[in-house]
Chains A and B, each alone.
Chain A
């Protein structure tokens, strides 16, 4: 049994990773909650965001945190366009078709990235990449600490947007009562695409916060897809608070799983949680049974 001196840093590390997972899952759960679709291209779009941050940094010298002003809006536009142009037109009344189309999109995006960037692992160099912060006797990388707080702030901003703005109200109305919202004059196609765009913009934020302490390859999204689904399912499909808590839980589970079972087998815990939650508590930990 490893002692606390190993467990505490591990848990803290898990929490910082978990906050980013939460941010990624937040985008997914927003899209699910409003459009009732599962975006399988979520991981691939995160990868697009990561390459955008990498490109801005290495080619134009833009700091990844400054890229927060550029990448999320661009990702928003990309999401808006994808939903209006492709995803929104392909369900033909079956959810699974959306899953297939977004799977197709992710294959296209990933392999285009492979074509353009090759399969090399890319990182960025920032002056603060190796800075650390001491907390509870653990040394945490500064970028991960910034990412943690950045994720919390973004989640709060998203919550405010949903609760306080006209767009948020329209989105919530549409999520709850599709027909009724359309009857009172809400342009459903537009608001759906806005929601999808917001979900993808979350990925843009996550990409800016993630890259200083992470890397990017064309396949980098794979690892995040099922994790994000697990978090969303764990938190209850469409629940913001649930997604955030779920993200933190999964981050810690992954860190501890890696500690006790080893890197390779450690990942298994996440998938097993995913399967068990869907089997026994599909409404999520916080959700109510319908």
Chain B
């Protein structure tokens, strides 16, 4: 309960941002942090709580984004319906990938590589068919208005992403306090032992990948409506998959607040480098990559783990590593 109160308090404070931040630039930064936290929390459900490291979360993100864009542009369907359809289709893609991997017992590195391959297949497909605009990409016409899921000001977009992100964080809070979450963590830590205790590992992993896919898909819907442009590389390219995993790894996998910490830390780092070094292509990605290496080497439990180590009561003799 204390955690839930803290969570709601944090999001209530964040909700004040549009009213206290005057500059568009800064509000955009808050929006991007929330968006990164949403992507990261989606990955965290499957990777952090379920122990299944996906390298292809772009598959769900891109599906959400393309669904809302294609429905609007090609069929003139309202983006609010597109939002629902995008979420559902992302769940569908996740279910398909889950079936293809978990049914055949793919785990660890194999699971990671196969998810990457699925995202690549979708990228090539979206690059080859006409209704996605192929390599040229797809442009959503500007038509501000709540009915069109487009907003005149950043405040509207802020509350769109705030809502999605809060929903993802509430879902993860629930995971931490439910039978589903207990089963998921058991499967992560020892699948065989979990099955011996009656946990249906396949079903639990399917639940996790679908929930994870849903929130990635919603992030994609938000992206499409915010930037109004998509191409195969943006939607299904490796950058989104990498950002999805980087955020919780930096913040702390398998923790509720990890993705928020990670998202804030990532954007802080890239803003700082911009301030210090200036606009240099690729430089913030160099730092991202270096951060990934350093975190895995020295802080496998992320910033949340570090905080726990520094401030909280220590579990006696608890191993510091191995249960990232």
Chain A–chain B contact at Cβ < 8 A: yes
- Chain A residues with a Cβ under 8 A of chain B: 38, 86, 89-90, 92-101, 103-112, 114-115, 118-119, 218, 222, 226, 229, 262, 264-265, 267-268, 271-272, 274-275, 278-280, 282
CA distance A222 to B321 in the complex (A): 31
Bound together, the chains give a CA A157 to CA B119 distance in angstroms of: 37
| A97, B283: Cβ atoms closer than 8 Å | no
Closest A residue to B135 using CB positions? A264
A104 nearest in chain B by CB position: B292
Residues of A within 8 A of B296 (CB): 90, 92, 97, 100-101, 104
State how many angstroms separate the Cβ of A28 from the closest Cβ of chain B.
Answer: 12
* Complex interface: chain A residues within 8 A of B104 (CB): 278-280, 282
A-B contact pairs, 13 of them (CB 8 A): A90-B296, A96-B112, A104-B289, A107-B289, A115-B281, A222-B238, A262-B128, A264-B127, A265-B125, A268-B124, A271-B118, A278-B110, A282-B106
Taking a contact as CB atoms closer than 8 A, the residue among A98, A114, A229, A262 that contacts B113 in the complex is A229
Query: Is chain A's binding surface mostly helix, strand, loop or mixed?
Result: helix
For the complex with contacts A101-B293, A229-B113, 10 further pairs of A-B residues with Cβ separation under 8 Å are: A93-B321, A100-B296, A105-B293, A107-B285, A107-B286, A115-B286, A226-B113, A274-B113, A278-B106, A279-B104
Within 8 A of A (CB), among B92-117: 100-101, 104, 106, 108-110, 112-114, 116-117
* Residues of chain B whose beta carbon lies under 8 Å from any beta carbon of chain A: 53, 55, 100-101, 104, 106, 108-110, 112-114, 116-118, 120-121, 124-125, 127-128, 135, 238, 242, 245, 249, 280-283, 285-286, 288-293, 296-297, 300, 321-322, 324
Give the distance to chain A from B252, nearest Cβ to Cβ, in Å: 14
Q: Is the CB of B300 within 8 A of A103?
A: no
List 9 A-B pairs, minimum CB-CB distance, nearest first.
Answer: A107-B289, A104-B292, A111-B282, A108-B289, A104-B293, A114-B282, A111-B285, A90-B297, A92-B321
> In terms of DSSP, what is the predominant structure of the interface of chain B?
helix
Closest to B134 in A: A264
> Does A94 contact B322, Cβ atoms closer than 8 Å?
yes
Question: Which chain A residues lie closer than 8 Å to B117 at the CB level?
Answer: 226, 271, 274-275
CB <8 Å contact, A100 and B249? yes
Complex-state Cα separation, A132 to B36, whole angstroms: 52
Task: Give Cα distance in the complex from A115 to B286, angstroms.
Answer: 9
Q: Which single residue of chain B is at the shortest CB-CB distance from A229?
A: B113
CA distance A15 to B245 in the complex (A): 37
Give every chain A residue within 8 A of B285 (Cβ-Cβ).
Answer: 107, 110-111
Smallest Cβ-Cβ distance to B239: which chain A residue: A107
Which chain A residue shows the least CB distance to B53?
A96
CB closest chain-B residue, reference A32:
B109
Residues of B within 8 A of A226 (CB): 113, 116-117, 120
A38 touches B120 (CB 8 A): no
> What separation, in Å, do the CA atoms of A110 and B285 have in the docked complex?
9
Which one of A97, A280, A282 has the greatest number of beta carbons of chain B within 10 Å? A97
Contact B124–A94 (Cβ < 8 Å): no
- Interchain CB contact under 8 A, A111 and B116: no
How many A-B contacts if CB must be within 8 Å? 130
Known: A264-B124, A268-B125. A99 touches B109 (CB 8 A): yes
CA distance A25 to B46 in the complex (A): 30
Closest chain A CB from B286 CB (angstroms): 4
The complex places the Cα of A97 from the Cα of B245 at a distance, in Å, of 12
Contacts of A280 in B (CB 8 A): 104
Nearest residue in A to B300 (C-beta to C-beta)? A92
A272, B289: Cβ atoms under 8 Å?
no
Identify the closest chain B residue to A268 (Cβ).
Answer: B124
Give bound CA distance, A98 to B104, whole Å: 23
B124, A275: Cβ atoms closer than 8 Å = no
Task: Select which of A95, A106, A107, A275 is within 8 A of B114 by beta carbon.
Answer: A275
| Complex: A264 Cα to B124 Cα, angstroms | 7
Task: State whether B109 touches A96 (Cβ < 8 A).
Answer: yes
> Which A residues lie within 8 Å of B291 (CB)?
104
Interface centre among A101, A109, A282 (most CB of B within 10 A): A101
Partner of B124, one of A99, A110, A267: A267
For the complex formed, measure the closest distance between the CB of B159 and the CB atoms of chain A, giving whole angstroms.
33
Most buried by A among B108, B112, B296: B296
B-chain residues with CB within 8 Å of residue A105 when the two chains form the complex: 289, 293
Q: By the criterion CB–CB under 8 Å, are A38 and B289 in contact?
A: no
What CA separation (Å) do A271 and B285 show in the bound complex?
26
Q: How far, in angstroms, from A229 to B120 measured CA to CA in the complex?
A: 14
Instruction: A218 to B283: give the CA distance in the assembly, Å.
Output: 13
Give bound CA distance, A229 to B115, whole Å.
Answer: 13
Whole-angstrom CA separation of A96 from B188 in the bound complex: 13
Complexed CA–CA distance, A108 and B290 (Å): 6
Closest to A276 in B: B100
CB contacts (< 8 Å) of B238 on chain A: these are 222
Is B100 within 8 A of A275, CB to CB? Answer: yes
Contact of B289 among A97, A106, A218 (CB under 8 A): A106
Measured CB to CB, the closest approach of chain A to B130, in angstroms, equals 12
Asked if A115 contacts B293 (CB within 8 A), the reply is no
Q: Is B289 a contact of A100 with CB atoms below 8 Å?
A: no
Cα distance, A105 to B290, chains bound together (Å): 7
A103 / chain B contacts, CB cutoff of 8 Å: 55, 242, 289, 292
Q: What's the minimum C-beta distance from B133 to chain A, rounded to whole angstroms?
A: 14
CB pair A271–B124 under 8 Å, yes or no, is yes
Tell me whether A265 and B124 are in contact (CB under 8 A).
yes
CA distance A1 to B128 in the complex (A): 21
Report A-chain residues with C-beta under 8 Å of the C-beta of B127: 264
A38-B117 Cα distance, complex, nearest whole Å: 15
A100 touches B292 (CB 8 A): yes
